[in-house]
Amino acid sequence: MDNTFEKRKKIIYDLICDDFYVPMKIKEIAMLLQIPREQREELKEVLNALEAEGRIYVSKRGKYAKGQAKRLTGTFQANARGFGFISREGEEEDIYIAEENRGGAFQGDEVEFVIIRQKDDSDRGRKRTEGKIVGVLSHRTVSIVGLYEKSRNYGFVRPDDQRIMKDIYIPAGREKGAMTGHKVVVELTSYGGDQKNPEGFVSEVIGHINDPGTDIMSIVKGFDLPVEFPEKVMNQAERVGKDVTPADMAGRRDLRDWQMVTIDGEDAKDLDDAVSLTKEGDCYRLGVHIADVTNYVQENSALDREALKRGTSVYLSDRVIPMLPHKLSNGICSLNAGEDRLALSCIMRVNAKGEVVDSEIAETVICVDERMSYTSVAKILEEQNPEEIRRYEGLVPLFERMAELSRILRKKRHQRGSIDFDFPETKMMLDENGRPVEIIPYDRNVATKLIEDFMLLANETVAEEYYWRQLPFLYRTHETPDDDKIRKLSTFINNFGYHIHVGNEVRPKEVQKLLGKVEGTPEEALISRLALRSMKQAKYTWENTGHFGLAAKYYTHFTSPIRRYPDLQIHRIIKENIRGRMTEERMAHYEKILPEVAMQSSVMERRAEEAERETVKLKKVEYMQERIGEEFEGVISGITKWGAYVELPNTIEGLVHVVNMTDDHYEYWEDRHELIGERTHHVYRLGQTVRVRVLETDRVQRTIQFGFVS
C-alpha cells in the first residue's frame, strides 16, 4: 500500500482510539473528519483494512469502535538477523515478525500473537502478513550451547545459535568450574526481557574451544542429538544380534545362489542394500535386497522406541550417531559379504523401455558375493582400469548390465520430467584430531548413479503396490511449489533471458528444462540454488500425494531400514501383509500410529540435516583458518547489497563484504545482479572468475571473509 493510505489509516485509528471517541457510523466519521461524499468509498476501504487487522470492530448497528485484535497461536522460527516467522498448523503462509515485535520469544517457542498488517497482493504492496508476539505460551528452548567468558563476579555465555540475540548471564557459583574459552551447556532459569538478559546455570562443560572434538560435540549438544544408547537398549541389541540360524531361514525364499553385490562408499559400515541383475530375453530381472531389520527390532520394544525417538542416523564429519546400536547396524543387520543375512527383497522384471512389467516383494535369505565400493565400480565402467577388471573379473558382466539398465531408467525418468539437482557434495579428509587436512568436491559417478537408479525404482514399485492394496502405509511426498515462489523465480530468471511457464500449476518438466538451459553457464549455480529454494521440502506422510521433484505418482522409502525409521516401519506393514496377518484390528492400529510416525520422522530428519550442514560449515571455517592471507581463484556464486559470495573449486564459499572493496564505493544493481563501482565503473557479476585472499574466519558464526585481489 502507498504511504497516503497508511497515513489515513493512522489518522482514523488514532481518532477511534481517542478516549473521548464514542462508536460512530461511517457517515458520522466522514462528517467529523470533513470527508466529502465522493471520498466515502476510500474511507470505507481504510475502515475495512483496520477491521481486517483486528484493530477496530464494527457493531451490528454499523458503528465502528476500538477493537481488540484477535489473538492467534503458532510456533516462532527465529532468524539470525533478528526478525522471525510464525508458522501455524494447517496454514500455508508464515507470519512475519519484525525484531521489535518478537516479545522476547526464543527459537521454537509456542507463542500468542496478533496480526498488525495484512498481506497486500498488489504489485507495490506488502508481500507478507505481519504480526506481533504478545505472549509466550511455552518455551521449547530449555538449554543452550555456547562459549563461556568469566567476569569478576559473574560469567556469561555467548550462544552458538546466532538466532539467540542476547548473551546468557551466569551468576557466580553456577558456572560448574567453567573457565573462559570453555564450550558449555547452559540450562535456562529465566528468559529475560527487554532490558534484561536471560539467566541460567552451566549443566555441562564440553571442553575448551581448542580441544580436539569439542567443536563437533558442541554441535551434537546444540541439536540435542542422543549420543549414548540406554543400557536397556544395548542389552536388547546384544540378545537379538545373533548369527542367522536355520530356524530364522524357515519359510523364506533362499536366494543365496544369486549373484549379488553391495556397492557403497569406502568407509560405509552399515550396508543395508544389495543388488542382483540378470537379463532374460529383452527383460531385466532386477533384485533390490534390503536388510530385514524388523526381524531384530520388534514393534514397541526398547530398541524400537529408541529408533523412533532418533528417527534417523546422523552422519557428521568425524562420526556417525546411529539410529540403532552398532551390534545391529554394523553387525547382523549389515549385508556383509560372505555371510548369510535375512532380507526383504523387491524383485522386478523391467522391459527395454524401463517399465516394471512384473514385481514381487518377498522375505528372503541372501549371501552377498562381494562388498564393492563406488570407486572400484567406476574404475571398471568409466576408466576400464585393467587392474580392477582383472580383480573382479567374474563380476564385470554384472556391472556392465547394471550400467545398461541404469541408462534406460535414467532416460525414462528424464522423459517424464524428474528434476536432478546435481550439486557437488563436500568430501573431507580429517587428521586424528579431527582437523580438516583436505576438502574436495565429491561428484556422483556412474556407480553412485546406478545404485540411486535402482533404489528409486524399488521405492516407486513398493509405493505403487501398497497404494493400490489400500493398506495403511508411509509415503515420501513432495508437494507442488507455491505459486508465489515460482512467480518470483520466473521474474528473477527473466533478467538472464530465461523463461519458465507458469500456468495454473507448474510442472516438474518446466523446472527440468530450465536446469538444462542454464547448464554450463556462469549463472548455473545461482539459478539452480534458487530453483531448489522455490521447491517445498519433501516429508513423510501417511497419505500419498506424489513426489513433485521425481515426477512420481507413488514414492516411499523402503531401502534403508538400518538408518531411517520410516523404512523400518513400512517393512513391518509389508511383512504382516505377506504373512496374511493384516487384520482389521492391525489396520486400525497402523492408521492410528502412522501420522505420529510420519511427523516424528520428518522432524528428526530436519534436525539431522541441520546438524550435518553446521558440521560441514564448521570444518570449512577450520580449514580456512589455517590459510588466512593465502590467495585462491574462485567464481562469484552470489551477489547481494552487502557483497559478493565467492565459491572456490573445493566447494568452500566466503563473502567479500562491500566494506572490504576498498578500491571504490560499490552499488548493488538489483535488476542486473551486479556490484558496480561508482568511480571506476568496475563490475562484479555472477559466474565471474576472481582471485581472493582469505581475510578472517569466525568459528562461532561459522563464516569466512574474503577480499578481492587486484
Mean pLDDT within 340-358: 97
Q: Which residues of 210-225 are buried (b: 16+ CB within 10 A; e: fewer)?
A: eeeebbbbbbbbbbeb
Q: How far apart are CA 448 and CA 382, in angstroms?
A: 12
pLDDT at position 1 is 41
* Mean of pLDDT values over 268-285: 95
Least confident segment among 35-49, 319-333, 561-575:
35-49
358 sits in the region (left: phi over 0; alpha: psi -120 to 50; else beta) called: beta
pLDDT tens, position by position, 52-63: 666 777 776 788
Strand partners, 655: 645, 705
How far is the C-alpha of 552 from the C-alpha of 452, rounded, in Å? 15
Q: Which residues, including other chains, have CB under 8 Å from residue 439's CB and lie 6 or more apart?
A: 426, 427, 428, 429, 619, 620, 623, 650, 651, 652
Backbone angles phi, psi at 454, to 5 degrees: -70, -40
Region 266-287 average pLDDT: 94
Residues 6+ apart with CB under 8 A from 371: 261, 262, 264, 271, 336, 337
- Residue of higher predicted confidence among 274 and 443: 274
pLDDT range class, residue 383, cuts 50, 70, 90: very high
Q: What pLDDT shows up at residue 484? A: 81
Query: Given this model, what pLDDT does residue 124 score?
Result: 47
Averaged pLDDT score across all residues of the chain: 91
pLDDT grade for 17, boundaries at 50, 70 and 90: confident
Report the alpha-carbon distance of residue 327 to residue 541 in Å, rounded: 30
**Which position has the grid cell 544493481?**
669
Decide: helix, strand or coil at residue 552. Answer: strand
Residue 218 pLDDT > 70, yes or no? yes
**DSSP 8-state symbol, 331:** I
Residues making up the chain, counted from first to last: 710
Instruction: Pick the range with the lowest mean pLDDT from 7-11, 73-77, 355-359, 381-385.
Output: 7-11
Mean pLDDT of 81-109: 88
Confidence (pLDDT) at 406: 98
> For residue range 150-196, what is the model confidence (pLDDT) as tens digits?
998 999 999 998 889 889 999 999 999 999 999 999 999 999 877 78
* Residue that is written with C-alpha cell 571506476 in the block: 680
What CA–CA distance (Å, rounded) separates 364 from 440?
A: 40
